[in-house]
Amino acid sequence: MIPRLSDLWTNSLPGFWLVLAACLYFVVMAVRLTVIDVRSHLLPNRIVFPSYAVAGVLLLAAAILVSFGDSATEDAAAAVLFGIPGLGVLSGGAVLWLFYFVLRLIYPPGMGFGDVKLAGVLGLYLGYLGWSHVFAGTFAAFLLGGLWSVGILIARRGTLRSAIPFGPFMLAGAVAAMLLLPA
């Protein structure tokens, strides 16, 4: 995300401010949801649902500005799929929501519906950056959650039936993908 912001600073100043606002919102949302999910195993709709609107509007507007701007470059337009501005944002959100929804259908006790709703929001952010970010963020979430679960089992703080809040791992996986992968 940092290289994307520096590209936007150079090529599309309005796009830069839109993406920066989306990132700042993400940080606030992620901290609030992590604290709530760790305490209560819930991801409240009053935080998740507005996040769709905020992320969607800011990231779609940035994608449109970059793709139609005079100074759009090939790197800055990587979030635009098939020449349609913002399709990467929307398809990332839809695909990630659908993936988590299928997981919820397959094994309902293993995945809460709050996680499914959060997946759509994370898909908007990761989809803006590209499909590699969507896949890496999802993989990192399951890797981090799995490592945490193994740690709990080894420390004898839980069993195979113990519930863990998965939202913080989803958010951490998305952050890892946004910061560690090139944009």
pLDDT beyond 70 at 81: no
**pLDDT class of 34 with cuts at 50, 70, 90:** very high
Which pTM value belongs to this model? Answer: 0.88
pLDDT at 15 over 80: yes
Residue of higher predicted confidence among 182 and 46: 46
Q: Are 128 and 58 in contact (CB under 8 A)?
A: no
Dihedral-angle region of residue 156 (phi above 0 means left; psi in -120 to 50 means alpha; beta otherwise): left
Q: Which residues pair with 81 in a beta bridge?
A: 84
Decide if pLDDT at 154 tops 70.
Answer: yes
Closest listed residue to residue 2, CA positions, set 17, 14, 20, 18: 20
Position with higher pLDDT, 74 vs 37:
37
In this prediction, residue 90 has a pLDDT band, given cuts at 50, 70 and 90, of very high
- Nearest-angstrom CA–CA distance, 154 and 140: 21
- pLDDT (0 to 100) of residue 25: 98
In 3D space, the residue among 172, 82, 74 whose CA is nearest the CA of residue 126 turns out to be 172
User: What would the pLDDT profile of 132-148 be if each residue is shown by its tens digit?
Assistant: 999 999 999 999 999 99
